[in-house]
Structures are given as C-alpha cells and as structure tokens.
C-alpha cells in the first residue's frame, strides 16, 4: 500500500520548540523520505512520507501510532482551510493525533505544520469512493483507528442563480461534494469504527452507570458540516441549501442506524463564518449587499472558524454521550 524512497533534508526546527510539540513535517516530495531534526538534541531524524496507490500523497509526522492506545485520533476533511483547519488545530490542542485531508494537498500540508501533535496530511477527493476509502485506510495504517471525524469538505455555487437559472452541471457539482461527499465519508468512517474495540478516555467517569458506558458512542463520533442554509431558505443558492439539507438527513439516519453500535453522528449548522469561501462569496456582492449580509446575525458580526471548531470538538468529546442525531446552530442568534 505504501512506498518510501530516497532521503533528502528540510530546514532545522528551532530548539526553542518543546519536543512534545515537534511532530510536524515541513515539506513533501512524493515518493521520498524527508529528514527533520530533533529540537532537543539537534540530531537528524528520518521521517517517512508515503504515496498511496493511485498517486495520492500522504505526509507523515513520522510517529508510528499503530499501537495508539493512549491517544485518540481525529480525521478532518476540508482540513486545508477555514473551519476544517481550525478544527484540526483545535483537535491537536486537545491532544488528538490528526489526519488532515483536503483536495488541495499544499493547504493540507500547511495545516499539518500548525499542529502540535502527531498527524498526517492526505489528499482526498470526497466525490470519489476510491479516494475516500484510501484516506480512511491511510489513517488506520498510520494510527490504528479513527475515534472522531469531522466531515467538513464543502463548496458553494460559483455564481448565484435562481432555480430556473441554475445549470445541471452546477447542481451536480455542489451536491457531489456537499452531499455525496458526506455520504462517502460516513460510509467508510463508520465501516472502520464498527471494527474498532470501544475506547473510553476516562473509564472512571461513567463507572457507576454501565448503561451509559454501553451506549455512549465509544467506538467513534462523527460530526458533519451542514449550514444555517439548511434551516432557512436562501434565494439564489438552491444547490447549496439542498446539499446541506441532505447532510442533515444523512446525519439523522446514520445516528439512528448506529446508535447501539456505539457510534454517535451529529451536525453543525454555522452561519456566516470568516473563511476563504465566505470571502469569495462576498467578492461577488456590492458593498451594500456585503454589509447587509454580514449584519444578519443578531450579535452584529460574522463568526470565527475557531468558534465552530469548539462546537465540533465538544460534540466529538465524552462531554455529551447522550447526544446523537442532532444539529447544532452556531450562528450568532440567527
């Protein structure tokens, strides 16, 4: 499945970085092994990078966590920017090993550089079953399991249009990433989680409540990225709204199907958030339209990616074992 080849070197990591925070690799040439340096000793340490069958690149932090019994593993799609990037960073801050997946490989690698725990970056096209399956395989090959997943990859329409003016290609494009992509991720993530032995990060927390332990989602927790557009009509954005409605349907169905298997599935519905996609959408509007859009939330501002990331990580945590099949609005009171 994996292949490694010749050795090269990359820049030296500053000795000021604590050893526990130096699990990041700074560059990748497909088919090569990079060198990095120990910040504590200055010694060179070989770190592998892998190439998936079919040419998809996997950037490795170099820490083999196949027997990763003490640390949880989070997979994030759309991890190259925006909410996905903020979520990967937050997972890492909480101590998770991270799989950062994105169709834009350089962006995924850039996110990986920001993390302070072991991680890999994977190029993935969520509209292709083979690509999604390879992503999950890479995660399991490297870390041994997937405890949490945030299916955050998503796109918007290239141009605003009414239903009558929306082209078939544009509808298929948006639905392919936002709806089919979430379905494919759920399909392969759940298949993997079903094979996993339940893990409890704090065995004492529910020791006096065996029923909670049995059904609290210890095999895995998944959060899907929906949108406020799934809950309220959004004129001239029918494909996007429909795709995010589909995400809620998939979320609730998966939650019911796998609740007794110890897998929780929830969704977040952000409002306007300060992301690259939001900026691209705002560029299409007049200054007056832009001001009106960004003042829609009662709090008087748009959200930050980190605010959504906090909600995602909470939903994935042991803090809410009785929560599944729900959607959480993060929309400033809208």
Q: For residue 300, give both structure tokens.
A: 């008087």
Active-site residue (options: 37, 244, 258, 329) = 244
134 exposure class (CB count in 10 Å sphere: 0-12, 13-18, 19+)? buried
What is the distance between the alpha carbons of residues 129 and 19, in angstroms, rounded to a whole number? 38
Whether residue 12 lies in the annotated active site: no
Whether residue 96 lies in the annotated active site: no
82 exposure class (CB count in 10 Å sphere: 0-12, 13-18, 19+)? buried
Q: What are phi and psi of 324, to 5 degrees?
A: -155, 150
Whether residue 240 lies in the annotated active site: yes
Active-site residue (options: 240, 243, 258, 329) = 240
What is the distance between the alpha carbons of residues 151 and 165, in angstroms, rounded to a whole number? 29
Active-site residue (options: 131, 226, 227, 243) = 226
**Residue 210: Cβ within 10 Å count:** 9
What is the distance between the alpha carbons of residues 164 and 289, in angstroms, rounded to a whole number? 22
Residue 242: C-alpha distances to residues 78, 127, 174, 249, 280 (Å): 19, 17, 9, 11, 20
Q: Which residues are catalytic?
A: 226, 240, 244
């Amino acid at each position: 499945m994996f292949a490694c080849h010749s050795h090269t070197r990359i820049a030296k990591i500053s000795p000021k970085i604590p050893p526990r925070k130096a699990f990041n690799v700074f560059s990748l040439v497909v088919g090569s092994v990079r060198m990095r340096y120990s910040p504590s000793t200055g010694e060179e340490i070989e770190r592998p990078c892998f190439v998936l069958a079919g040419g998809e690149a996997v950037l490795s932090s170099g820490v083999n966590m196949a027997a990763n019994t003490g640390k949880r593993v989070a997979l994030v799609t759309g991890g190259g920017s925006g909410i996905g990037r903020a979520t990967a960073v937050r997972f890492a801050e909480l101590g998770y090993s991270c799989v950062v997946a994105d169709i834009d490989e350089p962006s995924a690698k850039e996110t990986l550089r920001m993390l302070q725990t072991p991680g890999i970056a994977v190029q993935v096209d969520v509209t292709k079953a083979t690509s999604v399956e390879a992503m999950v395989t890479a995660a399991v090959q490297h870390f041994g399991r997937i405890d949490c997943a945030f299916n955050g990859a998503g796109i918007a329409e290239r141009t605003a249009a009414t239903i009558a003016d929306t082209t078939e290609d544009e509808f298929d494009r948006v639905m392919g990433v936002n709806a089919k992509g979430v379905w494919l991720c759920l399909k392969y993530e759940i298949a993997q989680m079903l094979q996993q032995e339940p893990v409890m990060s704090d065995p004492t927390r529910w020791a006096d409540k065996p029923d909670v332990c049995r059904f609290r989602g210890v095999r895995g927790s998944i959060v899907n990225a929906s949108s406020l557009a799934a809950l309220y009509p959004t004129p001239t954005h029918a494909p996007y709204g429909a795709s995010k409605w589909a995400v809620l349907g998939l979320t609730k169905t998966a939650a019911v199907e796998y609740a007794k298997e110890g897998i929780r599935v929830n969704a977040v519905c952000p409002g306007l958030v300060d992301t690259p996609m939001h900026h691209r959408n705002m560029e299409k509007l007049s200054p007056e339209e832009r001001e009106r859009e960004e003042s829609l939330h009662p709090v008087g501002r748009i959200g930050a990616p980190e605010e959504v990331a906090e909600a995602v990580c909470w939903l994935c945590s042991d803090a809410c074992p009785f929560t599944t099949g729900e959607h959480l609005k993060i929309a400033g009171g809208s």
